[in-house]
Structure 1
Amino acid sequence: MSGFDLGRLGYLGLLLAVLVIWMFVQHRGQLAKSLQQLAAWGLIFVAVLAAIGLWEDIRHTVMPQQAVFAEAGRVELPRAPDGHYYVTLDINAVPVRFVVDTGATGMVLTREDASRAGLHPEDLIFHGQAMTANGAVMTAPVRLDSVGLGPFEDRGVRAFVNGGEMGQSLLGMSYLQRFDRLEISGGRMVLERG
């Protein structure tokens, strides 16, 4: 723990002590009731801290995940609560989460995802241009050494790195057309390859 964290912890402890003392002073005649209220607020505080600390685990448990059926050559992607389909691909052996966009032509990586996959944006040449809902953005063409999805692995896949701001990497038809079948039914996107 750093000195800054210890200072924050000390400040919170002092604040809690002041609140407890104020509560006892205000309710001197009703000590038992005050202790009950203090215990209830303490439990609420601990529950909130636990929920914040475990939020990532809770979110991954509640949200449906992609399912890979290697024997059948099939991948199923559940529709997320926001209505989109998301898939995690291994780009150069690094997991990267994409939003699936059947209306997009290419595979587009954010600068952050490209950097994690070993493509350093400062070494790329942003000479291409793409039209987005937010207007034109500069792009850099790249060739990905490997793209993996469950049992499927492709080599030398063409993609682009977005030169502008983009919240999520985008998976377009240039990759999706590698599958023999793409079907959306019952809140699931099914990708199959023979």
Structure 2
Amino acid sequence: MTDPGPWGAPPPPAKPAHAPPASWRRRLLWLVFVIGGGALAAILLHVAPWALRTGYDWTFVVVWGGFLLLMSLGLMTARRGDILKGVRHAAIWVAVVGLLAFGYLYRAELAEAPLRLRMALNVGAPVATGERELRVAQTEGGAFVVVGQVNGQPVLFMVDTGATDTVLSPADARRVGIDVEHLNYDQTAETANGLGSGAAWTADRLAVGGLELGAFPMVVNKAPMGGSLLGMSFLDELESFEVRDRTLILRWREGAGSHPLAPT
């Protein structure tokens, strides 16, 4: 008999753990899994027979089918704790693959997310989205407002396709430096409040985003207004304008206006 020494006898070596034999319930579930997988594959092949046309397609199905079959065989004899751990890992991978697939499917929308954020945070500020293209976000009230510059002074315009001219309110005209008291208000126009009077005036420079127009004719309204209007006299200088997804898109041709600038 071996002397156990001062610390007592060493513990007996642990017996290797063996996975329990598969129960009849697991075998039944595995059989249902195999039959269901085969039936699903047959239905998909019947619905879309063109899905498996090349040898590569069949190889893909055989490889992944064999992989899933081996995985299912392993689950039959695995311990409950190992199964739960495997399920957690599989869920993580499914979430990663799903996130990547979501990003791929909606890559165009995600690419425009920074642009939409810039327009939402800077209401009225035109955002350059191309060499000669601007976008303006719609306000909560349904209008399109854009910040332009008249002779270097910022003016908030409301885009109005029903207005023939580009109209400055008296307040904006004074801020630009116009002596509104000595203008000749000899023009009349039909407005929402009735017949209004205006005076012709020419701006040395009208800029909206990257488009600059020199010697631009405008009208200074005599009566107070809620804001200035960017009318068809400006929109006609563009190559096109359209509204899409609550966004006004302005495009102009190369060389438009007296002094076209590149978008900044």
Alignment TM-score, normalising by the size of structure 2: 0.49
Which residue identity is paired with 1:107?
Answer: T
Which residue identity is paired with 2:201?
Answer: V
Q: Could you say which residue in structure 2 is the equivalent of 1:26?
A: none
- Could you list the per-position Cα deviations for residues 16-49 of structure 1 after superposition, in whole angstroms to 9, with x for gaps in the alignment? xxxxxxxxxxxxxxxxxxxxxxxxxxxxxxxxxx
Which residue identity is paired with 2:128?
Answer: F
Q: Could you say which residue in structure 2 is the equivalent of 1:155?
A: 214
Q: Could you say which residue in structure 2 is the equivalent of 1:72?
A: 131
Retained in 2: the 8 A contact 1:88–1:95? yes
Q: Could you say which residue in structure 2 is the equivalent of 1:166?
A: 225
Matches within 5 A, 1:1-194: 64-69=123-128, 71-194=130-253
Which residue identity is paired with 2:197?
Answer: M
Q: In the TM superposition, what is the alpha-carbon distance from 1:111 to its structure 2 partner?
A: 0.6
Retained in 2: the 8 A contact 1:70–1:150? no
Which residue identity is paired with 2:185?
Answer: F
* Aligned counterparts of 1:189 and 1:73: Cα–Cα separation in 2: 14
Retained in 2: the 8 A contact 1:70–1:151? no
Which residue identity is paired with 1:184?
Answer: V
Q: Which has the larger radius of gyration?
A: 2
Against the structure 1 CA distance between its residues 126 and 147, is the aligned structure 2 distance closer, same or farther, given a 3 Å change threshold? same
Retained in 1: the 8 A contact 2:138–2:144? yes
Q: Could you say which residue in structure 2 is the equivalent of 1:31?
A: none
- What's the secondary structure of 2:143's corresponding residue? coil
Against the structure 1 CA distance between its residues 96 and 127, is the aligned structure 2 distance closer, same or farther, given a 3 Å change threshold? same
Against the structure 1 CA distance between its residues 186 and 71, is the aligned structure 2 distance closer, same or farther, given a 3 Å change threshold? closer
Q: Could you say which residue in structure 1 is the equivalent of 2:109?
A: none
Alignment TM-score, normalising by the size of structure 1: 0.65
- What's the secondary structure of 1:143's corresponding residue? strand
Which residue identity is paired with 1:69?
Answer: A
* Aligned counterparts of 1:187 and 1:100: Cα–Cα separation in 2: 14
Structure having the larger proportion of residues in strand:
1
**Greater RCO between the two (CA within 8 Å, min separation 6)?**
1
Q: In the TM superposition, what is the alpha-carbon distance from 1:136 to its structure 2 partner?
A: 0.6
* Aligned counterparts of 2:192 and 2:209: Cα–Cα separation in 1: 31
Retained in 1: the 8 A contact 2:157–2:229? yes
Q: In the TM superposition, what is the alpha-carbon distance from 1:61 to its structure 2 partner?
A: 7.3
Q: Once the two structures are aligned, what percentage of the paired residues are identical?
A: 32
* Aligned counterparts of 1:78 and 1:70: Cα–Cα separation in 2: 13
Between 84-93 and 60-69, report the one with greater CA deviation: 60-69
Total equivalences in the alignment: 135
- What's the secondary structure of 1:140's corresponding residue? strand
* Aligned counterparts of 1:61 and 1:187: Cα–Cα separation in 2: 11
Between 70-79 and 99-108, report the one with greater CA deviation: 70-79
Against the structure 1 CA distance between its residues 176 and 136, is the aligned structure 2 distance closer, same or farther, given a 3 Å change threshold? same
Alpha carbon RMSD of aligned pairs, Å? 1.8
- Could you list the per-position Cα deviations for residues 51-110 of structure 1 after superposition, in whole angstroms to 9, with x for gaps in the alignment? xxxxxxxxx975644333275211101110010000111000000001111111110100
